[in-house]
């Protein structure tokens, strides 16, 4: 395996690093919110890294421009048409026709001091496909910047470290054969080549535990399950569109939950409840919905509290929690997976969405000069919809994202009180 | 590109070198002829090459055994499910389920003097998938045997020759931009890597003329059209099953033609008329069928005579030949394509199935010692169905295949007379 490739673009297919949930959300958006003007913005949460001084903006522009030249090909559309893991014909022909003609919209790139200012304005149904692709590009350019000052041998050492850590993960998985998981690490990957390598190795070494990848290209390439349902983005934008109406959070939440079920039914019925605190989400959910849906994805707050709250809820309704699913997807590593598995295994179905730590675990997490040898925390989130500022509270509201005045308004709307937990749980 | 790879199996996916027509025929067979016992046999028609003395049977066995360990994966089945070039949902779910569980049946391998004796007995619906895969394996092992005695530089020279000949083909195609064609060369390819290279180059260099590949894996990989309809095999086996009945050739031909239309309709309506002479086929065809079907594939005899006979027929029926298609697929090279194109272009739609000369054109066609540095003429054909010997006459009956007494019987049945042309044509 070559360490650093400069001879071909980072992204060479619109499936690569494009997480499957962009298509499930993409069709939803295309059917219901066509023409909504959304702006998504890149943000580096690893503040100690002065990204604009490390990554060459010309190179970044070249990679992004190359993505704009790509189109979905017939085989990719055949694959989407034939995907049946979540139900038969989940993608309708007119949506596939739309994808066939899609070119990703223009982006805006500049700097803001030491930070990269990268924004994706455009109709929601088109700009939605930038998120995970653009994150994968920035991450790979950053990884190249980390590799560049190293000698050839040091570069090999980095890859050897990555391999040995992957070997430790595989050992852990073999010792815990009831753990099943998926790769959710496209957006934070060291490189496309490395993510592909990790997927190949997992397919060979732990085929019964490694279920699939959120990376549509790799799931297709390896015949694993394309993993994904929905992201906070959906709830955030729709809330923004209903902002100003009475009870807009409840209204938008009902709109997304009912619309999602109507479009995908049981196959993709995984709640992502924490956009505006799980407590609020739960209050707006009907018992009938809890009875019907498969389960929840956990993405913020305390996972034990969250899981217990789901089990409580099921038991209150006389549902056997063992028939339902919990998908932890925030900050997983073997220790966290082990802790959650020991706590929940046998009580509720667990399926782990393993991200950054799976696809970008090669460095020793030290600062050397201005370079942080470790993964970055980068996100691309919608910041406005038809001009309205967007907010995400999560189950950790003090870390809410959005403009301060918007956050305040949303917190009031959900009746946020620092002394009340975001997830109600008798545990 | 590495010249000769010994570190991985020749076939690593059941899509690779598996021509798309094996699936279109495969579903037809699975739906209608389940459990028919068919034996297909390998035959080397390049008699000057003593194949069993050149190819290591242990290696051949290893490669064939590896194929038996392969299964279709989810993505391959998604792709077949989503294929829409020939109509929506051309493959039914139960057939895809069947493929999901399919393992290729055991083969029989031995020698017969200097010849390899390789046979594929088994239920037709399973052994049908061996043909093009096994041919590709034998060809690649032979190509390795040709490369082995060469120095590293001589090996590079072979590949350079291949590249330059490909460049000449591309130049020819650019000079003749109305020529559209497909790769039909899986079974005769120099190697899998070389066929993939040729496909990649054609996609980049002549994207508007290169339509697709019969190799399902490469069509899927490159997003080109998976090319193929049916082979003589279908007509041969069904004739064998009806052999002994009155008018069995006519009866079997009606059975295949009507069944094929019923299953696939217009999408795959390409006649392959020459199994028992085109004259016989045409006599058994109704005008309504000629009115409905897309066109013909030409695979033996004189292509000009054949094409003219099609144009005559269309004109007799008041059909504009320009709305119909002719697919030459026998022994094409640039000279032959040019000749056919000059003759037919503008009169009938032409689409060329370019085989051996496209994917195995690297050598200088000389004997050196016991090695023929050129492509081999290898085939795998069904030889019996439920114990009955099978026959193919083609439009060149003196070269008919089958046991002499069977050939005689079939020739009598179609009223073969060496003085009457196999294709009736007023041209």
Is there a contact between B223 and A74 if contact means CB atoms under 8 Å apart?
A: yes
**Selected residue of A87, A215, A223, A224 to mutate for chain B interface (largest B Cβ count, 10 A):** A223
CA-based radius of gyration for chain B: 21
Q: How confident is the model at residue B422, as a pLDDT?
A: 79
Q: B295-298 and B210-213 as β-strands: parallel, antiparallel, unpaired?
A: unpaired
pLDDT at B426: 53
Q: Which residue of A has its CA nearest to B217?
A: A75
Residue A76 Cα, gap to closest chain B Cα (Å): 7
Tally: H helices and E strands in chain A: 17, 15
Tokens of A292: 């019907």
pLDDT beyond 60 at A426: no
How far apart, in Å, are the Cα atoms of A324 and each of A269, A310, A321, A327, B298?
A: 11, 9, 5, 10, 58
Of A81, A219, A223, the CB nearest to B82: A81
DSSP line for B47-105? TTS-GGGTS-HHHHHHHHHHHHH----HHHHHHHHH--BTBTT-S-HHHHHHHHT--PP
B222: contact with A, CB 8 A cutoff:
yes
Question: Which residue intervals of B223-274 are DSSP H helices?
Answer: 232-242, 248-264
Shortest Cα–Cα distance, B4 to chain A (Å): 18
Asked if A76 lies within 8 A of B223 by C-beta distance, the reply is: yes
Q: What percent of chain A is modeled with pLDDT above 90? A: 94
Q: What is the pLDDT of residues B206-243, one digit of tens each?
A: 999 999 999 999 999 999 999 999 999 999 999 999 99
Gap from A79 CA to chain B (nearest CA, Å): 5
* DSSP-derived secondary structure for A278-340: HHHHHHTS-HHHHHHS-EEEE-SS-HHHHHHHHHHHHHHTT--GGGSEEEE-SS--HHHHHHH
Average pLDDT of A397-404?
90
| pLDDT number for residue A1 | 35
Q: Which of A28, A70, A381, A83 is nearest to A216 (CA)?
A: A83
In this complex, which of B73, B84, B219 lies closest to A81 when CB atoms are compared? Answer: B84
* DSSP letter for each residue of B361-406: --S--EEETTEEES---EEEEEEEETTEE--B-TT-GGG-BS-HHH
Helix axis angle, A152-175 relative to A334-344, nearest 10°? 10
Q: Tell me the whole-structure pTM to 2 decimals.
A: 0.89
User: CB atoms < 10 A from the CB of B405, how many?
Assistant: 10
CB distance A80–B75 less than 8 Å?
no
B73: distance to nearest CA of chain A, Å?
5
Q: Are B79 and B222 in contact (CB under 8 A)?
A: no
Give chain A positions within 8 Å (CB) of B221: 75
CA distance B89 to chain A (A): 9
User: In terms of CA atoms, which chain B residue is nearest residue A225?
Assistant: B74
CB contact under 8 A, A79 and B78: yes
Pair type for strands B325-328 and A115-123: unpaired
B349–chain A Cβ distance below 8 A for any pair: no
Q: Is B83 on the interface with A (CB under 8 A)?
A: yes
Collapsing DSSP to helix, strand or coil, B313 comes out as helix
Minimal Cβ distance to A82: which of B79, B85, B224: B79
Name the residue in chain B with its Cα closest to that of A12.
B222
What is residue B109's three-state secondary structure?
A: strand
Q: What is the pLDDT of residues A368-380, one digit of tens each?
A: 999 999 999 999 9
DSSP-derived pairing of the beta strands B325-328 and A225-226:
unpaired
Q: Which residue of A has its CA nearest to B71?
A: A223
Chain B hits for A12, CB-CB cut-off 8 Å, are: none
Q: Which residues are A215's β-sheet partners?
A: A19
Average pLDDT, chain A: 95
For chain B, list residues with pLDDT below 70. 1-7, 425-427
Q: Which of A75, A84, A222 minimises the CB distance to B220?
A: A75
pLDDT tens digits along A7-18: 689 999 999 999
Nearest to A78 among B74, B79, B222 (CB): B79
B73, B223, B224 ranked by CB distance to A223: nearest: B73
Question: Do A239 and A36 touch, CB atoms closer than 8 A?
Answer: no
Residues in chain A: 427
Tell me the C-alpha distance between B415 and B412, whole Å: 5
Q: Does A227 touch chain B (CB under 8 A)?
A: no
* Alpha carbon distance B29, B383 (integer Å): 16
Average pLDDT over residues A282-296: 96
Q: Å from B250 to nearest chain A CA?
A: 38
| H-type alpha helices, B101-215 | 124-127, 131-147, 152-175, 192-205
Instruction: Report CB contact under 8 Å: A78, B77.
Output: no
C-alpha B18/C-alpha A298 separation (Å) is 43
Name the residue among B73, B74, B223 with its Cβ closest to that of A73: B223
Check: CB of residue A391 under 8 Å from CB of residue A239: yes
Among left, alpha and beta (phi > 0; psi -120 to 50; other), residue A210 is beta
Q: Does A225 touch chain B (CB under 8 A)?
A: yes
In B, minimum Cα distance to A73 occurs at B223
Residue B402 phi, psi (nearest 5) = 135, 175
Cβ–Cβ contact B84 with A under 8 A: yes
Question: Within an 8 Å CB–CB cutoff, is residue A289 touching chain B?
Answer: no
Answer whether B73 sits within 8 Å of A219, measured CB to CB: no
Strand A371-373 to strand A366-368: parallel, antiparallel, or no bridges (unpaired)? Answer: antiparallel
Tokens of A14: 């619109």
User: In B, which residues are within 8 Å of A83 by CB distance?
Assistant: 78, 82
pLDDT confidence of residue A7: 63
Q: How far apart are CA B216 and CA B182, in angstroms?
A: 12
**CB distance from B395 to chain A under 8 Å?**
no
As a whole number of Å, the end-to-end CA separation of chain A is 49
Q: Is A243 on the interface with B (CB under 8 A)?
A: no
Q: Which of B354, B39, B64 is nearest to B184 (CA)?
A: B354
Q: Considering only CA atoms, give the Rg of chain A.
A: 21
Interface touch A78/B76, C-beta < 8 Å: no
pLDDT at residue number A425: 59
- Give the best residue of A74, A76, A226 to mutate against chain B (max B CB count within 10 A): A74
Cβ <8 Å between A73 and B222: yes
For chain A, say whether B74 makes contact (Cβ under 8 Å).
yes
End-to-end alpha carbon distance in chain B: 49
Distance CA A273, CA A279 (A): 8
For testing contact with chain B, the best of A15, A77, A82, A212 (most B CBs within 10 A): A82
Which chain A residues are closer than 8 Å to B222 by Cβ?
A: 73, 75
**Span A39-43, average pLDDT:** 98
Tell me whether A17 touches chain B (CB under 8 Å).
Answer: no
What is the C-alpha to C-alpha distance for residues A274 and A395, in angstroms, rounded to an integer?
6
pLDDT at position A174? 98
């Amino acid at each position: 395996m070559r360490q650093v490739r400069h001879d071909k673009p980072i992204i060479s297919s619109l499936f690569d690093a494009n997480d499957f949930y962009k298509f499930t959300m993409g069709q939803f958006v295309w059917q219901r919110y066509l023409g909504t003007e959304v702006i998504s913005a890149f943000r580096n949460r690893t503040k100690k890294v002065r990204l604009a001084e490390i990554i060459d903006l010309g190179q970044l522009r070249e990679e992004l421009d190359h993505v704009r030249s790509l189109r979905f090909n017939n085989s990719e559309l055949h694959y989407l048409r034939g995907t049946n893991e979540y139900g038969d014909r989940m993608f309708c022909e007119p949506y596939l026709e739309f994808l066939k003609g899609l070119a990703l919209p223009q982006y805006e790139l500049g700097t803001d001091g030491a930070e990269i200012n990268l924004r994706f304005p455009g109709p929601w149904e088109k700009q939605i496909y930038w998120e995970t692709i653009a994150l994968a590009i920035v991450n790979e350019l950053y990884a190249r910047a980390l590799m560049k000052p190293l000698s050839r041998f040091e570069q090999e050492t980095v890859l050897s470290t990555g391999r040995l850590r992957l070997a430790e993960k595989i050992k852990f998985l073999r010792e815990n054969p009831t753990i099943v998981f998926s790769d959710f690490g496209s957006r934070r990957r060291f490189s496309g080549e490395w993510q592909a390598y990790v997927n190949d190795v997992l397919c060979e070494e732990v085929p019964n535990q490694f279920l699939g990848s959120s990376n549509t290209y790799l799931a297709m390439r390896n015949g694993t399950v394309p993993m994904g349902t929905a992201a906070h983005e959906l709830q955030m934008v729709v809330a923004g569109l209903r902002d100003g109406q009475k009870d807009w959070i409840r209204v938008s939440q009902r709109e997304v939950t009912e619309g999602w079920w109507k479009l995908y039914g049981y196959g993709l019925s995984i709640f992502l409840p924490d956009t505006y605190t799980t407590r609020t989400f739960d209050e707006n959910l009907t018992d009938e919905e809890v009875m019907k849906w498969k389960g929840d994805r956990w993405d913020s707050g305390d996972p034990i509290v969250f899981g217990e709250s789901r089990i409580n809820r099921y038991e209150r309704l006389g549902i056997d929690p063992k028939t339902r699913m919990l998908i932890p997807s925030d900050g997983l590593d073997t220790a966290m997976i082990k802790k959650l598995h020991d706590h929940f295994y046998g009580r509720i179905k667990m399926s782990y969405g393993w991200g950054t730590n799976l696809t970008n675990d090669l460095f020793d997490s030290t600062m050397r000069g201005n370079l942080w040898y470790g993964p970055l925390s980068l996100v691309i989130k919608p910041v406005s919809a038809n001009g309205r500022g967007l907010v995400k509270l999560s189950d950790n509201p003090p870390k809410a994202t959005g403009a301060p005045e918007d956050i305040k308004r949303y917190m009031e709307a959900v009746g946020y009180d620092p002394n009340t937990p975001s997830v109600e749980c008798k545990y």
